[in-house]
Amino acid sequence: ITAALIGTLALVGLVVVVLFGTSDNSAAPAADTISVLPTPVDARVNYADATGMISGAAADSALVNTIIDITPWDGTSRLNILFMGLDRRPGETGIAFRSDSMMIISLNPQTGSVGVLSIPRDLYVSVPGYSARQRINSALPLGELQRAGYGPTLAMQTIQHNFGMPIHEYIVADYTALIALIDAVEGIEIDVPTPISDYWFPDQYDGYDPLVLSAGVQWMDGSTAQKYGRTRHGDSDFGRARRQQQVIFALRERLLNLDNLPALIASAPALYGSISANVETSLSLDQLLRLGMWLRDLDTNAITMGVIDADYTSDFITDDGAAVLIPRSEWMYGLFTRVFGADFAG
C-alpha cells in the first residue's frame, strides 16, 4: 500500500506540475474564459517553407472534414500524454479555458525512459476543423465550444496533426492541485538561477501579488512554487517552461523521500479532494497506479527534458498584429528525436 501511494503521488507530481496557468505581467489581466477567445486569424501568407509541420499538412487546406484518430493506450507499449494547465479563476468550473501550460510526456516502459517536452502557448498551428491557423492553446476551449467534453480530444488531435506524434491520453488541471501537493510534502527546494523581482505578478482577483526571490537555493511552499513557475519576469514563455521543469524534479524528489510519507498520509483526504476537484484525465485509476509504481523507481538520468524555444520557432506577426510563433520543421524533427527517441512517430 505504501509503495502504491508513493508511486501514485510520484505520477501525480509529474502531472500537476503543469498546473501553473499563466502570468502575462500585464496591468489588468483578464479572465481567460471561452468568452474572450481571440478572433480567428486568416492565414493569408503561404507558410509552405515555414510551417514546421512534421506531418506535412498544407497550411492553406481547409480542415473542416479532417478526421484525426486518437488511439487509447494499450497498457504495455509507449504512452504519450498531453498535459494541459488551465488559468482558471476561483469559483470558475469546467475546462473551457486556454491551456497556457502544455507538455507532452512520453513514458516508455520498454526502454525505461521518459521524455518531457514543453510547448509554448503562442505556437501558431493548424487546428483540425478550422481553416485558419490558431494559437495552440486555443484548441482546448475551441473543442469545448463545439460540444462539452470534446476539448481535450481536439487538443490531442492538434498535437498529433502538427507534430506527427500519436497522443494516447490527456490530463487537464488547474494550479490549485499543485499548491496542495507541494504543501502536502511541506515545500520543495529550488535553485533560482537569477534574482526575480516581479512586482506586477497578477493575483486571481485582477490585482497583484508580487514575487521577489533572490538567486540561489530557495525553499518554496506551494503558492511560491506555482508563482515561480508562472512568472515571465525578465524572459519569456521559454524561460517559464524551464522553471516549470525545475519544479518537476524538485517535486519528484520530495515525493520519493520516505521521510515525507507520514505527512502525505495525514494530508491524503484533503489532497485527494483537491486533486479530484481540479484534475481531469482519460487515464483510469488502475493505469495511474501502474504508472505510478513504474515512475517511483525511474532513474532521474532516464528523463530527457526539452523546450520548443526560439531555436525551433520563427517570430511572426499576424494581419491583426498578434505576435505568434511559427514552428520550424528543419529543427523540430531533431528536437523530438532527442527528447522522445527516433521512433517518436511510431
Per-residue pLDDT tens digits for 218-251: 999 999 998 888 787 666 667 777 787 788 778 8
Residue 309 has pLDDT above 60, yes or no: yes
Most confident region among 59-63, 273-277, 282-286, 312-316 by mean pLDDT: 312-316
Q: pTM of the full predicted structure?
A: 0.74
The enclosing H or E element of 99 equals: strand 99-108
Residue 49: predicted pLDDT: 35
Number of helices followed by number of strands (H, E) in the chain: 10, 14
Q: pLDDT class for 265, splitting at 50, 70, 90?
A: low
Name the more confident of 8 and 324. 324
What's phi and psi for 195, nearest 5 deg?
-60, 150
The enclosing H or E element of 256 equals: none
Residue 48: predicted pLDDT: 34
Q: Is the CB of residue 97 less than 8 Å from the CB of residue 34?
A: yes
Residue 55 has pLDDT above 60, yes or no: no
Name the more confident of 85 and 248. 85
Q: Is the CB of residue 192 less than 8 Å from the CB of residue 227?
A: no
Among 40-49, 114-123, 226-235, the range scoring the smallest mean pLDDT is 40-49
Average pLDDT over residues 271-290: 76
Average pLDDT over residues 176-201: 86
Nearest to 242 by CA among 274, 297, 294, 194: 194
Residue 290 has pLDDT above 80, yes or no: no
- What count of residues does the chain have? 346
Q: Is the CB of residue 126 less than 8 Å from the CB of residue 133?
A: yes
**3-state class (DSSP) for residue 3:** helix
Residue 198 has pLDDT above 60, yes or no: yes
The radius of gyration of the chain from alpha carbons, rounded to an integer in Å, stands at 19
Residue 137 has pLDDT above 80, yes or no: yes
Residue 260: predicted pLDDT: 67
Residue 43 has pLDDT above 70, yes or no: no
Average pLDDT over residues 90-114: 83
How far apart are alpha carbons 85 and 20 in whole angstroms?
6
Q: pLDDT averaged over the chain?
A: 75
Among 94-108, 121-135, 232-246, the range scoring the smallest mean pLDDT is 232-246
